[in-house]
Amino acid sequence: MSIPRSLTSDFRKVLGEDSVFTEDADLLSYAYDSAVLEQRKPAVVLAPSTRELLGRAVGMCYRADLPITVRGSGTNLSGATVPEPGDSAVILTSKLNRILEINQRDLYALVEPGVVTARLARAVAAQGLFYPPDPGSQEVSTLGGNVALNAGGLRGLKYGVTKDYLMGMELFDHGGELVKTGSRTVKCVTGYNLAGLMLASEGTLGVFSTLILKLLPPPRASRAMLAVFERFREAAEAVAEIVAARILPCTLEFMDTRCIRAVESFKHIGLPVDAGAILLIEVDGGSSEGVLSDANEVKVVCAKCGASEIREARDPGEKARIWEARRNALPALARLRPTTVLEDATVPRSRVPDMVEAVADLASRHRLEVGVFGHAGDGNLHPTILCDRRDPEEFARVEEMVDGIFETALNLQGTLSGEHGIGLAKAKWMEKETNRATVEFSKRIRKALDPKGLLNAGKKII
Ligand SMILES: Cc1cc2nc3c(=O)[nH]c(=O)nc-3n(C[C@H](O)[C@H](O)[C@H](O)COP(=O)(O)OP(=O)(O)OC[C@H]3O[C@@H](n4cnc5c(N)ncnc54)[C@H](O)[C@@H]3O)c2cc1C
C-alpha cells in the first residue's frame, strides 16, 4: 500500500515530522483492535498534536480522497478501528489529551477526546466531584472512544451511560470544518441535537475535538456485597427481583462458575469456586441510613431467590477486592485459551435468566467453553467464548454460536449491542434488528454528512 510521496510530505509539513508514521512496524500497530477480526494496515498514521491540526488532518485526507479511521485507544470490541481496505489513514487522538476545564459551580468538564476515562474520573474526584461512566477498560479507553460508542460501565444501572453525561461538543466535519453543538448549560435546544447524532456514531459522521461532560456530586455512602448462588438461574432471577423491589443498586454484576474459577486462580481473592454464580452488588446514596436499608433489602431479596451466602465488604479493602474480581473477569478468562470472543447482546432485565440459560444451551450444542459475566442489572451480559482462532473447525462453531446469541437476544426483544458497538463485526445484523427502511434512512444521513464516504466507511451501516 502506498500514497503519493507529495501527500506524505504535506502531512509532515503541516503536522510535524514526529506526527506522521509510514514505517511498516508503525502501520502494523494500528492494523487491528481488541476485536478478533482481520488485520488491515493503513497507508499512513497521523497523530495531530492540537485540535486545530486535527481539523487540518481531516480536511487534507478528505481532499486527497483518503479514507479515515479515527482511533482513541483501540479497545473497542467490534472492529470499529480496523482501517479501511486499501490506502487509508488512521488518525490518532492520543496527543489530544488535555483536560481543559473542570467547573465546580456549573458541574461540567471540558476535555479533548484523547483524555483517558479514568484520568478524568480521578481529576474530578480530586475536586470532590464525580464522573460516573466507568467502562471496564477505563484505565485505557479514551473519552472520544466512549462517546463514539456510547460506552457503558459498571454503574450504568443507576447512573446511566456516556450519553447521559454528554452536554455538547465541537467536531470536525468531513472537510475539516469546525461544528459546534450543545453548551455548558443544563438546558440547550439551539439547533439540532448534533451531539446526540454523534453519540455511538463510531467515527462515521464526524471527528470530535472537544467534549463537554456533565459532572455530579459524589454519593456520600455506599455498601458492596457479594451474593453466592448454587444455580446460575437463581442469581439471574435475583437481578430482576432486586429492581422489582424498588431498589436501584449503582452496580449489579453477574459472574458464572467459569469466570469465578478463572478469576480466583488468577487473583486469589477468596471467591467461592463451587458456586454456580455470584452477584456483585453495590448500593449508594446520600445517607448511611438509606444505604444500609437498601443493602438489607438486597440481602433479603437475594436470600429469597436462593442465595446460600451473602458477604458484605466490611472495609474499603474488602470492597476493592469485590470490584477487583469483576474487573478481572475478562483478563482471567483470556488466560485460558489463545482467543476470546466477547459478545454483548443485551436483553430486557427480566429476560436475563432466559438469556443465561440459552447461552449455556448454545455452548453445549456447539461444544464450546464459555464464561458469562457482565452488567446483569442492565440486561447486558458478556458471554465470552474461549477458543483458538487458528483452528478453523472450532472457529466455525464459534461463529455459529455468535449468530445463535444474536438470534436469541433479538427473540427475547433485546438488542445486538448494549455498549460495544456494531463496527465491522455486527454490521450485517443491523437490518435484522431494525428493518430495511431504517438502514436506508441511516445511509441517507451518512451520505449527507460524508458525501465521499470516507469516514470509517465499512463500519456500522453497510
Ligand atoms: C477489557 C475491556 C473491558 C471493556 N469494558 C467495557 C465496558 O465495561 N463498557 C463498554 O462500553 N465498553 C467496554 N469495553 C470496550 C471499549 O473499551 C469501549 O468501547 C471504549 O469506549 C473504546 O474507547 P477507545 O478509546 O479504545 O476507542 P477506540 O476503540 O479507539 O474507538 C472506538 C470508536 O470510536 C471512534 N472514535 C474514537 N475517537 C473519536 C473521535 N475523536 N471522534 C470520532 N470518533 C472517534 C473510533 O473511530 C471507533 O469507531 C471494554 C474493552 C476491553 C478491552
Residue spans of the domains in the chain: they are 5-92, 99-214, 221-330
For ligand 1, the distance from its centroid to the CA atom of residue 145, given in whole angstroms, is 4
Q: Could you say which residues of the chain have pLDDT below 70?
A: 1
Q: Tell me how far the alpha carbon of residue 146 lies from the centroid of ligand 1, in angstroms.
A: 5
On the CB side of 431, how many CA atoms lie within 13 Å of its CA?
Answer: 7
How far, in Å, is the centroid of ligand 1 from the Cα of 118? 13
Domain 5-92 has CATH 3.20.20.140: no
Residue 30 is predicted with a pLDDT of 95
Work out which ligand 1 atom sits closest to the CA atom of 34. 53
Q: In this predicted structure, what is the pLDDT of residue 37? A: 77
Take atom 36 of ligand 1 and give the residue whose Cα is closest: 145
Predicted local distance difference test score (pLDDT) of residue 321? 92
Residue 1 has a pLDDT of 58
Q: Which three cell numbers stand for residue 195?
A: 451531539
Dig out the grid coordinates for 62 from the structure.
Answer: 478528505
Predicted local distance difference test score (pLDDT) of residue 428: 85
Strands 44-46 and 89-92: parallel
The C-alpha cell of 99 is what? 483536560
pLDDT for res 14: 98
What is the tens place of the pLDDT at every residue in 280-310?
Answer: 999 999 999 999 999 999 999 999 999 999 9
CB 255 within 8 A of CB 278: yes
Indicate the CATH number for domain 99-214.
3.30.465.10
Task: Note the pTM of the prediction, 2 decimals.
Answer: 0.95
Q: Which atom of ligand 1 is nearest to the CA of 153?
A: 8
pLDDT for 2 equals 78
Index of the ligand 1 atom closest to the CA of residue 171:
42
Ligand 1 pocket, CB under 6 A: 33-34, 69-77, 80-81, 93, 113, 135-137, 141-142, 144-146, 148-149, 151-153, 202-203, 207-208, 330, 419-420, 456
Which CATH architecture group holds 221-330? 2-Layer Sandwich (3.30)
Residue 372: predicted pLDDT: 96
- How high is the pLDDT of residue 248? 95
Please tell me the distance between residue 30's alpha carbon and the centre of ligand 1 in angstroms: 14
